[in-house]
Amino acid sequence: MGAIGDNYPSAVLREAVDAISSLPGVGSRSALRLALHLLKQPKENIHHFAEAVNALADDVHYCRECNMIADGELCGICADGSRDHHLICVVESVRDVMSIEATGQYKGVYHVLGGIISPIDGVAPSDLSIAALVERLQRMEGPVEVILALSGDVEGETTSFYIYRQIEGLAAKVTTLARGLGFGDDLEYADAITLGRSIVNRQLFKV
């Protein structure tokens, strides 16, 4: 197929393609395909699509406790009395919460930072909800465990260390995710750093 180039037959179509191709990972060719697909749909479907997008701007709230996306003042997890509110898992983003929730293994609550400290990307500690975490811990009664569940790269380690310095003394226990070989992983294919740390941090064999 030849290149489509700049031969848009309609300014409206061009605007839609420009908007759609502003999404990450969507090129102008895919955007055109998606715009023409939308165009073929009944008007009410197109309006519904636009409304769902608009609602992202207008109707999304952030939980006043944990900074998670919510439909009201509190997110469903913070509003859930059956969860352990003295176990707080600190994560970078909403996606991380969803990934951990999907495991079904965690019954505590969360604190969503909204990013990770990264001087290269211009993200400073003050851009993240770290001060809110400190205040949250100051407000709490009884011993609290904070799990730092950030990524294992330099930014993640830096952010974990920064937060640790801010909250030590406020949390009874600060933990981090276990790292090592994945379950079912073959030693042969593991990267050297992961394998090395798996040996250093070896655990008692349980039967």
How far, in Å, CA of 40 to CA of 21, rounded? Answer: 19
Q: Toward its own copies, which CB reaches closer, 90 or 167? A: 90
The binder of its own copies chosen from 22, 82, 126, 138 (CB under 8 A): 22
- Applying CB under 8 A, which part among 57-65, 79-87, 151-159, 168-176 lies near its own copies? 57-65
Is residue 27 near its own copies by the rule CB under 8 A? no
How far apart CA 69 and CA 116 sit, in angstroms, is 17
Do 147 and 133 form a contact (C-beta atoms < 8 A)? Answer: no
Q: How far is the C-alpha of 159 from the C-alpha of 93, rounded, in Å? A: 13
Using the CB atoms, write b or e for 132-156: b if 16+ within 10 Å.
bbeebbeeeeeebebbbbbeeeebb
**Binding status of residue 60 toward its own copies by CB under 8 A:** yes
Q: Name the residue among 117, 120, 121 with its Cα closest to residue 161.
A: 117
Of 27, 50, 73, 201, the residue at the interface with its own copies (CB under 8 A) is 50
Judged on CB neighbours under 10 Å (0-12, 13-18, 19+), 69 is: middle
Cβ of residue 201: shortest distance to its own copies, in angstroms? 22
If we measure between CA atoms, which residue out of 160, 129, 128 comes closest to residue 146? 160
Number of residues that bind its own copies (CB under 8 A): 65
Contact present, 20 and 35 (Cβ < 8 Å): yes
Binders in 80-139 for its own copies, by CB under 8 A:
93-95, 97-99, 101-103
Residues 146-175: x/- map of binding to its own copies (CB under 8 A)?
------------------------------
Residue 73 interacts with its own copies (CB under 8 A)? no
The minimum distance between CB 111 and its own copies, in angstroms, equals 14
Interface residues with its own copies (CB under 8 A)? 1-5, 7-13, 15-16, 18-20, 22-26, 30, 32-39, 43, 45-61, 68-71, 75-77, 93-95, 97-99, 101-103
